[in-house]
Amino acid sequence: MTAGVASRVVKKQILNTTNKTNKLMNRKLENKVAVVTGGSAGIGLGVAKRFAAEGARVFITGRRQSELDKALTTIEGNVTAIQGRRL
């Protein structure tokens, strides 16, 4: 087997594994509620996106309304933003 053929075989195996994993993971959080603090950026935003993709009803919190509004446009699914305030 040449290096090019071996590379294509490995890539195909990775794609097949990824597709199977994505199919198994979809909607695991259906009928669940998730609250993600700091959900307007960084790791919190990534978590909120994943939870929403898995079917959860997601609430994200943050201090800046403008950042929360941006996050709402990037998260696909059932998500609500709640602005907090500094005490």
pTM of the entire structure?
Answer: 0.69
* Residue type at 71 in one-letter notation: A
Euclidean distance between CA atoms 16 and 12, whole angstroms:
6
Spans of all domains in the chain? 1-26, 31-87
Q: pLDDT of the chain along its 87 residues, tens only?
A: 565 555 555 555 555 554 555 555 578 999 999 999 999 999 999 999 999 999 999 999 999 999 999 999 999 999 999 999 888
Tokens of 3: 């290096």
Residue 46 DSSP symbol: H
Tokens of 22: 């994505």
Class of domain 31-87: alpha beta
Query: Residues with Cβ < 8 Å from 82, sequence gap 6 or more?
Result: 59, 60, 61, 68
